Amino acid sequence: MTKKRFLYILNPISGDGVDREEVLDILSNNLYGIEITVWETTGSPDDPKEIQQMLKEKQWDGLLVGGGDGTIKMVVTAILGAQLPLGIIPLGSANGLATGFGIHGVSDACYAVQKGKVEAVDLWDINGELCIHLSDFGFNAGLVKKSTALQHRGMLAYAKSSLEQLKEMRQYTFVIKADGIEEKVKAKSLVVANGNKYGTGAVINPTGNVGDGKFEVVTLDPEGLEEIIGLSLAMFNDRLGEVAHVKTRSFDKAEIENPEGADFQIDGEVMPQTDQIKIEAMPHKVNFYCLV
């Protein structure tokens, strides 16, 4: 029987302490009937063009992406229109998209590919930037900014950054414009969510559906340590809908004003300072292997 051909796109600096050879061994030993070709990203702006060229030169049956949400976003940008199923190998310090698909490690990723269940995922344009999973203003964006600046990556980096960010947490004012309505809100964090979980497993968008043509805007405004702890527990126990200071709205397009200059990130990448974003659905969907 002819083997399927998969291109494995690996970010060699994803996460912390990842043994790339061990991961490749797991893939080779568990993806039966699949021939794997490895290509490593370089961080160069030319990476997407290199990927597009490889897709033209050979006939592929699927793609594997080893990295976090930022790496996945780069690959998706490069393959728009290719209609190839994409398997996530969660190696990043942020693996929210993989977590939302029930993929918590390399073995899960192998099982998802072998099982063959595919989810068609919406894409969103935010001020000209592609968004697949989550973007946000405020607390978490500041956390991403701090952890990105650290020399070492991984969950330890997030833990250290979280403590620093908690000390600096503040409330911001935002203006949401959608469906002919303008709403001024105050929040420590405002999240634009297509997916439903952060890489830690914390649920931020309980009602989210990555393929329904809509995204959710979630505002969180805890006061004091007790409410912060309660919020964290609710997120990890999938009870966010019971928290009084959390509000969720659903749209297919919207504008959000950020007059106080809160930090902003898209899919784990800190964006330049912006006082307004416009969010619109894109006509493309990308097919991801999943277990849920």
CB within 8 Å of 75: residues ≥ 6 apart: 9, 48, 51, 63, 65, 86
Q: In terms of residue numbers, what domain contains 33?
A: 4-121
Q: Does 185 reside within a domain?
A: yes
- Let me know whether 103 and 138 are in one domain: no
Residues 233 and 255: beta-carbon distance below 8 Å: no
- Let me know whether 108 and 207 are in one domain: no
Q: Provide the 8-state DSSP code for 273.
A: P
Q: Does 194 reside within a domain?
A: yes
89, exposed or middle or buried, with CB in 10 Å at 0-12, 13-18, 19+?
buried
pLDDT at 14 (0 to 100): 81
- Let me know whether 137 and 239 are in one domain: yes
pLDDT at 1 (0 to 100): 65
Strand 172-178 to strand 253-257: parallel, antiparallel, or no bridges (unpaired)?
Answer: antiparallel
- Let me know whether 117 and 261 are in one domain: no
Q: Does 236 reside within a domain?
A: yes
Q: Which helix (H) or strand (E) holds 220?
A: strand 215-220
Of the candidates 121, 148, 176, which is a domain's last residue?
121
- Let me know whether 147 and 113 are in one domain: no
pLDDT at 96 (0 to 100): 83
Q: Does 290 reside within a domain?
A: no
Tell me the C-alpha to C-alpha distance, in Å, between residue 217 and each of 153, 184, 185, 255: 28, 13, 11, 11
Low-confidence spans in the chain with pLDDT less than 70 = 1, 16-17, 150-162, 165, 167
- Let me know whether 90 and 158 are in one domain: no
Q: Half-sphere exposure of residue 139, counting CA atoms within 13 Å on the CB side?
A: 19
- Let me know whether 78 and 149 are in one domain: no
Q: Half-sphere exposure of residue 87, counting CA atoms within 13 Å on the CB side?
A: 27
Two tokens at 235? Answer: 């997120």
- Let me know whether 69 and 151 are in one domain: no
CATH of the domain at 9: 3.40.50.10330
Q: For residue range 141-162, what is the model confidence (pLDDT) as tens digits?
A: 988 887 777 655 556 666 666 6
